[in-house]
């Protein structure tokens, strides 16, 4: 069973939040606000925040820029993970990933099943790694962002979480680049 090991010090993670939407702006970005509120309440640092349209190339460019930024450890995007023609966030993420974290989508679906039942099958939440940066694409609803943070990300982005967490493997994420 997972637990917090209080003998380990908390390490703040620098997190960028990207909202993907053709209709949201800073005044009504409730999903982005949900993520920012939760990550800062947990003691992490908001490294950057932006809103972009549902355009695959634009999304991928922003993700690549943040992956290249040494002040960004994690990118959380919200929106564009559905099934319509405008939902291209997952494809943009996969354009950037060096490795996909398949289990993230699986665990997110399990969490969603408990909250919204079989409607969970309509989500394409995903996670991956690129240039030593974690990237996670979350659905565009505040509830889905809450669930992803509260049930998965807050634990995996806490260095004290046992038996393992994403933070403790940061130093090894880009080791294949150093071997070249």
Q: What is the pLDDT along the chain (180 residues), one digit of tens a residue?
A: 679 999 999 999 999 999 999 898 899 999 999 999 999 999 999 999 999 999 999 999 999 999 999 999 999 999 999 999 999 999 999 999 999 999 999 999 999 999 999 999 999 999 999 999 999 999 999 999 999 999 999 999 999 999 999 999 987 766 655 444
As a CATH number, domain 12-170 is: 3.40.980.10
In this predicted structure, what is the pLDDT of residue 171? 74
Is beta strand 126-130 parallel, antiparallel or unpaired with respect to 99-100?
Answer: antiparallel
pTM: 0.94
Per domain, the residue ranges of the chain are 12-170
Distance CA(134)–CA(20), nearest Å, equals 17
């Amino acid at each position: 069973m997972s637990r917090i090991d209080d003998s380990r010090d908390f390490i703040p993670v620098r997190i960028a939040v990207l909202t993907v939407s053709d209709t949201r702006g800073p005044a009504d970005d409730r999903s982005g606000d949900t993520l920012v509120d939760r990550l800062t309440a947990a003691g992490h640092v908001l490294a950057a925040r932006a809103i972009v349209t549902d355009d695959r190339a634009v999304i991928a460019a922003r993700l690549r820029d943040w992956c290249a930024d040494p002040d960004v450890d994690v990118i959380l995007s919200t929106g564009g993970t559905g099934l319509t023609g405008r939902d291209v966030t997952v494809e943009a993420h996969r354009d950037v990933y060096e490795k996909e974290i398949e289990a993230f989508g699986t665990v997110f679906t399990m969490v969603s099943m408990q909250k919204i039942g079989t409607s969970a099958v309509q989500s394409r939440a995903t996670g991956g790694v690129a240039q030593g940066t974690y990237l996670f694409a979350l659905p565009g609803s505040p509830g889905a962002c809450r669930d992803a943070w509260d049930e998965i990300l807050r634990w995996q982005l806490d260095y004290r979480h046992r038996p393992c967490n994403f933070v403790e493997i940061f130093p090894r994420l880009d080791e294949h680049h150093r071997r070249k």
